[in-house]
Amino acid sequence: MNTKINKVAVIGAGAVGCFFGGMLARAGKDVTLLARERQVKAIKENGLHMDCLSFKETVAINVTSHKEDISTADLILCCVKSPDTDLAAKEVAPFIKKGAIVLSLQNGVDNAERLSKLLPHPIYPAVVYVATSMVGDGQLKHFGRGELLIGDMEANPQAHESLRAIAELFQGAGVPCEVSSSIKRELWLKFLVNCSYNAISAIGQITYGEMVKQAEICQLLESLTKEFLLVAQHEGVNISFEEAEAINQKIAVTMSGQRSSTAQDLMKGKPTEIEFLNRLIVRKAQEFGVSTPSHQAMYALVKMFERQAVK
């Protein structure tokens, strides 16, 4: 397998896609964003403005709304929302060249699996820890962190060379990126954070740091965590309550000023990813014959707000 990565394409030029694509472009890498027309127009005219914790720059980056323009990319970063995964994969499939690698930088734990059913390419998941938001077309705001863990769900030894090349690409752009030999567990640890924080942040339009200052919300986070761990155990992912609690507490510190992507979607009147977060936990719980009432409540409330917000 060719592991030389000369060109990168980003599918889904939202906050995550623009951050990681922008970091690569800032380091001189050949990157093309596949974006909506408004985003394309803004970036072509003014560049991608990156207001990050360590720098504020306008980065020159290729941007297009034409799917055929990604046909020379060696690495595809899939950054679309989870509900859009299947449609996006079908739309770009004819334009991804043979031998290209697809890296899923998405919330949830099943996107790489879904992509693998639709694309005849190596598909690898990434665990993404970054707090970002698009504050306008072509304008990115970075609130905290910005690292990746990548791996192969099948633990195929032949994947190591490709994963190492991807890690080195990001590391060369100032993005911490490590190859994990236990990527499923890492995905579920991040999934824990999404299922604990996203819905509450969305319902209250509240930051992570503000959430943990309230005793009642801390009690709810504990209930969500215990239910999550029960489902994870049935999935063959063993995470102790102490480890889960530490992960959640770390997020409240390192991303204290962040509102969840679910909160941002609701505020903008967009559909959320809740079907692939708390609702996925509820569905799996039903399969395993266990109860997750806190996750069901979070799902129901977010769906209620979503129906009101999305016109």
Percent of the chain residues topping a pLDDT of 70: 99
Instruction: For residues 169 and 165, give the distance between their C-alpha atoms in angstroms, rounded to a whole number.
Output: 6
CATH assignment at residue 204: 1.10.1040.10
- In this prediction, residue 310 carries a pLDDT of 77
Do 247 and 103 have their domain in common? no
Distance (Å) of CA 35 to CA 58, 141, 146, 218: 18, 18, 21, 38
| Span 79-107, average pLDDT | 97
Do 27 and 157 have their domain in common? yes
- In this prediction, residue 5 carries a pLDDT of 96
Do 78 and 162 have their domain in common? yes
Do 175 and 249 have their domain in common? no
DSSP labels, 208-263: HHHHTTSHHHHHHHHHHHHHHHHHHHHTT----HHHHHHHHHHHHHHTTTPPPHHH
- In this prediction, residue 154 carries a pLDDT of 86
| Last-in-domain residue among 160, 181, 202 | 181
Which letter does DSSP use for residue 144 in this model?
Answer: E
| Last-in-domain residue among 155, 181, 207 | 181
| Span 65-80, average pLDDT | 98
Q: H helices of the chain, where?
A: 15-26, 37-46, 85-92, 111-116, 159-171, 183-204, 208-211, 215-234, 241-254, 261-267, 278-288, 293-309
Tokens at residue 223, please? 């209930």
Instruction: For residues 238 and 170, give the distance between their C-alpha atoms in angstroms, rounded to a whole number.
Output: 29
**pLDDT tens digits for range 123-135:** 999 999 999 999 9
Q: Which domain holds residue 88?
A: 7-181
CATH assignment at residue 32: 3.40.50.720
Distance (Å) of CA 169 to CA 75, 144, 173, 201: 10, 21, 7, 33
Instruction: For residues 260 and 190, give the distance between their C-alpha atoms in angstroms, rounded to a whole number.
Output: 13
- In this prediction, residue 113 carries a pLDDT of 95
Number of domains in the chain: 2
pLDDT of 64 over the 80 cut: yes
Do 45 and 149 have their domain in common? yes
pLDDT bin (cut points 50, 70, 90) of residue 30 is very high
Tokens at residue 91, please? 């739309």
**pLDDT tens digits for range 98-122:** 999 999 999 999 999 999 999 999 9
Give residues with Cβ within 8 angstroms of 255, minimum separation 6.
131, 143, 144, 145, 208, 209
| Last-in-domain residue among 133, 148, 181 | 181
Q: Could you tell me which of 176, 191, 180 has the C-alpha nearest to residue 247?
A: 191
| Span 11-31, average pLDDT | 97
Q: Is residue 1 part of a domain?
A: no
| Residue-averaged pLDDT of the chain | 96
| Span 45-62, average pLDDT | 97
